Amino acid sequence: MTRTPITVLTYGTFDLFHHGHVRLLQRLSQLGDELIVGCSTDEFNDIKGKRCVMPFSQRREVLEACRYVTRVIPEETWEQKRSDIVNHNVSIFAMGDDWTGHFDDLGDLTRVLYLPRTPDVSTTELKTRIQQRVSAA
């Protein structure tokens, strides 16, 4: 009897890829056989009011180069998560714990997990530190 592969799905913007992203993706990859990452497109980030330093094509390229990631798909809408879970036969939907409770409704389709964020690092904090250094120069 063959075992059904465990597919893990997560989403994010992944701007200014840093060690917190690496650690999250590593932990997620350890939960299953395949890790699919939905990377927010530039157009979707505009809808969310997010401004990225790196365009989608570059963020996607970085994610595809990460050894923990099996596949990268574009995240274009909030609503696509349900169809992505079904279409990719997802066993586990996982996000950082800053999203705790936001995706519990997906529990009727798959297991929903929220993992702790890496302490003392965030893209927002990195952007702030960069801006402070530029302003001080």
> What residues are annotated to the active site?
48, 50
Q: What is the Cα–Cα distance from 89 to 106, expressed in whole angstroms?
A: 13
End-to-end CA distance of the chain: 64
Tell me whether residue 14 is exposed, middle or buried, using C-beta atoms within 10 angstroms of its C-beta: 0 to 12, 13 to 18, 19 or more.
buried
Report phi then psi at 51, rounded to 5: -115, 125
How far is C-alpha 60 from the geometric centre of its chain's CA atoms? 11
